[in-house]
Structure 1
Amino acid sequence: MADVAARARVSTQTVSRVANNHQNVHPETRRRVLEVMRDIGYRPNLAARALVTGKFGAIGVVTFDVAAHGNSRTLEAIVSALQDTDYLVNLISVRSHTGSAVLRAFERLKSQAVDGIILNEAQVLDTPVARFPPGMPLVITDGDGGHPHPVVQTDHAEGVDLAVGHLLGLGHRTVWHLAGPPDSYPARRRVQAWRATLQAAGAPSPPVLHGDWSGESGYHAGRQLATEPNLTAVFCANDQMALGAMKALHEAGRRVPEDVSVVGFDNLSEAAFFQPGLTTVDPDFDRIGRLCVTRLLEQIQERPPAVRRVQSVPPRLIVRDSTAPPRH
């Protein structure tokens, strides 16, 4: 620090303020100090900084099944949002769907000296997680919403209403639903919203089929759907299952969208390149990740929250070629 101060012609206190990203430094002075830091390879001593500030410069993320598209996109968005900060990410992927497993993950992160935790609680646990780390800043995404902590989530009801409303608006008498697993919060909310949208429109509610988010489960459900003679439209709880269902319908001679319209959820980057291009709901994972980081940093920096405790992100419908009016 003394070497940086001497070469930049400033005090060591100014170097410390720049290193800790304080705002009360003239822009030209900050530029000069940062340039000297780069030239001589200076890196702040994180352990010493933690002793002074009480902050460790790390954020913990607890999630289930990193390979699942929604989880991986949310994680990617959180990491991207943190790139504009000085915080690192410590990730723990929880395999066991139990409250005790989540609590163990919290304890591990506490021992790794994190300043706060983001919990992607999309999985319904066997027991509620009632004992969060006391005093630990925490944000929950896609959880049960009953926690006293800030929650950031997709507005599932609006997304489903857009998808099912689009199909009903095309003239379909009703819309079948290929749902996610029953122990998933997003899957449960989408089933509830699907029923509510059909009921509000006076449309009958067909029986729900469940998959496990995979294309294979969508394919098996699609084979069953293909046997339904009155099926003209199906809303799938994610794009992978929609892709599997479309393959099964094609093999059964049911054309998409001429015979059956299909809508997905998640807006996979490949969705536009399916044959046909998949109509789907975009949950705006990037904004969800940014808001999770913003809500957590508010707590870490002891700033008053800018919004109410539960924040729902509005999705948008992306209309492509997999939906059309029914044939009469």
Structure 2
Amino acid sequence: MTAKPLRPTSFDVAERAGVSQSTVSRALRNSAGVNAETRARVAAAARELGYVVDRHASSLRLKSSETIALVTICRPGEDRSAINPFYFALLGSIAAATSARGFNLLVSFQESAANFRADFVASGLADAMIVIGTTSNRAAWDYFAEAQASGLDFVCWGSPGDPFRWMRSDNEGGARLAADHLVASGRRRIAFVGPEKSPQRQFDERRDAFFDAVAAHGIEPLFIAPPPAPDRHAEGVAAAAALLAAKPDVDAIFAASDMLALGLLQGLSDAGRRVPQDVALIGFDGIRAGTLAHPALSTLEPDIDAAGEALVAMALEDHAHTRTGTRIPVRLAVRGTG
């Protein structure tokens, strides 16, 4: 029996045209910001591969719901307003990418066995499912691991890793950007603040790559794991006190996340340390709250629009999820903290 050929995806078009998947999505929607030459190259690649963007096209797994389910995992008992703002930004980009394809978005906040649910596709409520949210809720990810093993289908952002079909920021590339910038700025007593071992693989990737990059400059990196606290901001405040007690001469910090960095910023200020004059500070996530801090937080910004478009494309188009492990590019946004 001859195997049925895989239908082309927007990732295949991107590879053929030599552009990112998000550029393909924007070009085929005639969005502003894509020049004529790139638009023509993408269109040509799509024609050559037989790829068509249409909500009724055979390249999409369209059944009857015209809906994508988005599960956001929360901490048990967490007020929805306390969810990491990064996930709300990602939710917004997924909503925009979903709408651009003519689909609806069903959003489900889940925190415990009382409301865990992974059968949105199997029950006909949705044509595809995406899972995002905190990986500190171990029970939730155990539930979704069992759901996937049972045959239920979905893709994830920043999952704990295997066996999930996942997509993440370029954590290692971002960590190298942070290290190189701090060293080039003359900093020599450089610390990483983040979990020593975390179910959130992105934290481990950021830490390990940062250590390697700092060491490559001939500098021994410092490390502080945040003391236990109710949330990342509170962890950052406590970590600042612990770091200054252990390494009072620290002159630069790379934090595993922006919320942690904002807590560090407060803790450094409480201790009378000037940022960036005494201590430079860089976070990771690019949340809007960082731009409102004083001074504004320097950070690694993932391309959130690209992340949303790629997650929707993987969920709808990539039947075998061969694009698992996709990395979303990040850029260093240097602001007031150094």
Shorter-chain TM-score above 0.5: yes
Q: Aligned letter for 1:110?
A: A
Letter in 2 for 1:220: A
Question: Are 1:286 and 2:305 an aligned pair?
Answer: yes
Which digits, 9 at most, give the CA deviation of each residue in 1:216-241, with x for residues without a partner? 22112112223332211111122222
- Residues 1:108 and 1:84: Cα distance change in structure 2 (over 3 Å): closer
Shift of 1:74: 1.3
CA distance in 1, matches of 2:114, 2:274: 45
Report if aligned partners of 2:158, 2:200 keep a CA contact under 8 Å in 1: no
Distance of 2:184 and 2:121 partners within structure 1? 49
| Among candidates 164, 170, 178, match of residue 185 of structure 2 | 170
Q: How many residues are paired up? A: 262
* 3-state SS, counterpart of residue 226 of structure 1: helix
TM-score by length of 2: 0.68
The counterpart of 2:260, out of the listed 227, 236, 241, is: 241
Superposition deviation, residue 112 in structure 1:
5.5
CA RMSD of aligned residues (A): 2.8
Change in 2 beyond 3 A, CA 1:54/1:241? closer
1:152 matched to 2:161? The reply is no
After TM superposition, where is structure 1 displaced by more than 6 Å over at least 4 residues in a row? none
1:120–1:92 CA distance, 2 compared to 1 (3 A):
same
Query: What's the CA shift string for 1:263-287, capped at 9, x where partnerless?
Result: 1112222423322222111012221
1:214 corresponds to 2:240: no
What is residue 296 of structure 1 aligned with on the other side?
Answer: 315
Partner AA of 1:266 in structure 2 = D
Q: Which amino acid aligns with 2:158?
A: D
% identical equivalent positions: 25
| Counterpart for residue 118 of structure 1 | 130
Measure how far apart 1:193 and its partner are.
2.2
- For 1:206 and 1:172, the matched residues in 2 are separated by 12
Contact 1:157–1:189 (CA<8 Å) still a contact in 2? yes
Structure whose alpha-carbon radius of gyration is higher:
1
The secondary structure found in structure 1 opposite 2:156 is: strand
- Opposite residue 207 of structure 1, the aligned amino acid is F
TM-score (norm 1): 0.70
Query: Structure 1, unaligned stretches of length 5 or more?
Result: 1-52, 324-328
- For 1:242, the aligned partner's letter is A
The aligned counterpart of 1:223 is 241
| Secondary structure class of the residue paired with 2:69 | strand
Indicate which of 60, 73, 81 corresponds to 1:64. 73
Does residue 1:91 correspond to 2:107, yes or no?
A: yes
Residue segments in structure 2 that go unaligned for 5+ positions in a row: 1-61, 75-79
Alpha-carbon distance in structure 1 between the residues aligned to 2:204 and 2:133? 13
CA distance in 2, matches of 1:113, 1:164: 46
Matched letter for residue 243 of structure 1? L
Q: Give the structure 2 partner of residue 6 of structure 1.
A: none
Task: Give the distance between the partners of 2:109 and 2:205, measured in 1 at CA.
Answer: 23
Return closer, same or farther for 1:308/1:243 CA change in 2, 3 Å cut-off. closer
Aligned partners of 1:285 and 1:75: how far apart in 2?
A: 9
Q: What code does the residue aligned with 2:131 have?
A: L
Deviations 1:266-322 (A, max 9, x none): 2222423322222111012221111101112214xx6x98x8432101100011121
Q: Which residue in the other structure is 1:54 paired with? A: 63
* Aligned-partner SS, 2:223: coil
